[in-house]
Structure 1
């Protein structure tokens, strides 16, 4: 139960999850409201296009709601007109369905419609198969579409317009935590005597981090887009998020340096025995400390590791004459670059998204395990 409570608390405090929940709730609200207006208030005969159009225009950002939404609305209107024309010419038949699909896919290829061929085809099929006999029905369907569009736009603009700042910040926060965890694991593996499969696992984890970085870039771009046409005051900061871009580039560098470090380690079959304790112990210690500082967003600790690394390098330069100097140099440079990159990320700690203060209520008598 304690583990389940912890997982639920983590989910409740996760702004990325709440962003998805909010978008889902707004989409449902827009569709249901459009249905109620079309079916109950205006009593239109076939009001299904109202919630359909509302679903199409509620996007993750206000800007996309207007830009992409209008393309989808235009596609819906084209589909209604196209299905009506085909139905009145050929009736409801196999030939009519085939002709409608061909025309819909051809019209959907027009660049201005933003590749909405599927929307045109599916909407056209629904309209064709549910009736097309009267002009009144055609007007009703166009009115349904207009209601859905208006409701969708209004809901997305008025009801807490989405701003992806917190979501992007949380994604970036997770990445520097994962980088720090990987560095600590590498240091621990070297201390215990790593095997080839350990090195392969570390390299694979850097590839996973590359995927996380791509996702974070997408979230930052979405956050920047969410600031356009957004009336909320915090949106100003995200209109030109150069600081965020710089942090992502530095995390990319840290991941690349970590992969290079792991590949260097993979070429060494007996690390401690080959390097000697004079190099192995201090360097592994600094690698672990750098990982803990990066994961904890502690710029002072990273600076302290940087100073230790500089002093260690000078000491080696003055005393060491090992044949392993090329390996020493490669590992020292990798660690120095990681520390420098993550130091800037740690200094930007205020940019991070704070976890939401939401938890499962503590039940009386449910004492935490101790």
Structure 2
């Protein structure tokens, strides 16, 4: 009984969420209303105004073209019209060359299936064969007027779907918080590694390499969010689109830096786990402290990246981390001196194994116009 009650209550709660909260429910409701409006508009034009004989094709196409972004709707319109044109031309050719309706149906479906595999058609390629099949089956293939009407009905539906998407609250997807979450997790990992290597009673490895796998997934989510933001502002007439475009551009800058830094972070985690067995315990104080100091400096650098990602007002300006980058460079130099001055080959090797990924990490997140041209790369064979 409780299940039936919940089922009956669901439409009301769903509608309330759509009205009160900006989220998935409201998006679904908006898309449904826009699809209905596009279908009605296409039907009025094709059936009431132009009185086309198969006017149902216009609203049919219009519903398919109410897309999540204006750019995607336009691209879908071009593809949809292309598949219909290909199907109509295929049907006309088969009507001319193939004797008999039954044989023509088989030929157009067979040939249309292969034509629809063209990558430009994407998932809509199947409509080449279906359109050709419908044209042959309805007897329109032998009449140029009827073929023209099919194309006109498709064009009307595409135009109505595109206009509704572009004019009626075209969606804009702002850059989300995924990039800030990514930066915070990378900083947390670096801090945990610094604490684990800097104190004999520290927390230990704690799955540092495993955590880089989650950072990879966060990177994918941040890239997807940025991609949706970029696409949603293309051809979008809303004033907010300009601000989101600036946010997406700056977000891409930060994302590019982290994209190349994450592989180096993964290598740092591997080296840190290997070094957590106490190989540095016998080293002198300078050598033992050089690695935690370097990791802490890198964490501070990532923290500044996270601050920039979390503050949309700072997206309009080039992201600069000169002070934090300088601190990381100093820590790298100290690590290099500690490795060169160590009398224990094992300690020198471990310090060198930290230097390489740390240097790659720093180079990746720095502004590419300010990458240091240092001869330090040759110290450890880099």
Q: TM-score, normalised by structure 1?
A: 0.63
Q: Give, in whole Å, the separation in 1 of the partners of 2:105 and 2:61.
A: 22
Count how many residue pairs are aligned between Structure 1 and Structure 2.
327
Map of 1:231 onto structure 2: 237
Map of 1:144 onto structure 2: 153
The alpha-carbon distance between structure 1 residues 272 and 85, as it changes in their structure 2 partners (threshold 3 A), is same
Q: Deviations over 1:97-125 (max 9, x none)?
A: 32112332455477987896422112333
| Partner of residue 260 from structure 1, selected from 246, 267, 270 | 267
Say yes or no: does 1:54 pair with 2:62.
yes
Map of 1:100 onto structure 2: 108
Q: Deviations over 1:269-323 (max 9, x none)?
A: 5157647675266556556666666555589999569648837965995897463
Q: CA deviation at 1:68?
A: 5.1
| Partner of residue 331 from structure 1, selected from 354, 360, 380 | 354
Secondary structure of the corresponding residue to residue 267 of structure 1: helix
Q: Deviations over 1:216-245 (max 9, x none)?
A: 56446635xx43x44344555749976444
Q: CA deviation at 1:149?
A: 1.8
Map of 2:127 onto structure 1: 119
Listed as ranges, the matches of 1:68-83 within 5 Å are 69-80=77-88, 82-83=90-91
- In the alignment, is the contact (CA less than 8 A) between 2:68 and 2:171 conserved in 1? yes
Moved more, 131-140 or 258-267: 131-140
- In the alignment, is the contact (CA less than 8 A) between 2:91 and 2:136 conserved in 1? yes
Q: Deviations over 1:110-154 (max 9, x none)?
A: 798789642211233344456648957655533421320220221
Map of 2:203 onto structure 1: 192
| Partner of residue 330 from structure 2, selected from 310, 318, 325 | 310
Gaps of 5+ in 1: 1-7, 345-370
Q: Which has the higher contact order (CA 8 A, sep 6+)?
A: 1
Compare CA radii of gyration and give the structure with the larger one.
2
Q: Give, in whole Å, the separation in 2 of the partners of 1:17 and 1:337.
A: 44
Listed as ranges, the matches of 1:222-301 within 5 Å are 222=231, 226-227=233-234, 229-233=235-239, 235=241, 238=245, 243-268=250-275, 270-271=277-278, 274=281, 278-279=288-289, 282=293, 295=306, 297=308
Say yes or no: does 1:180 pair with 2:177.
no
Q: TM-score, normalised by structure 2?
A: 0.61
The alpha-carbon distance between structure 1 residues 301 and 154, as it changes in their structure 2 partners (threshold 3 A), is closer
Q: CA deviation at 1:158?
A: 1.5
Gaps of 5+ in 2: 1-16, 311-318, 368-382
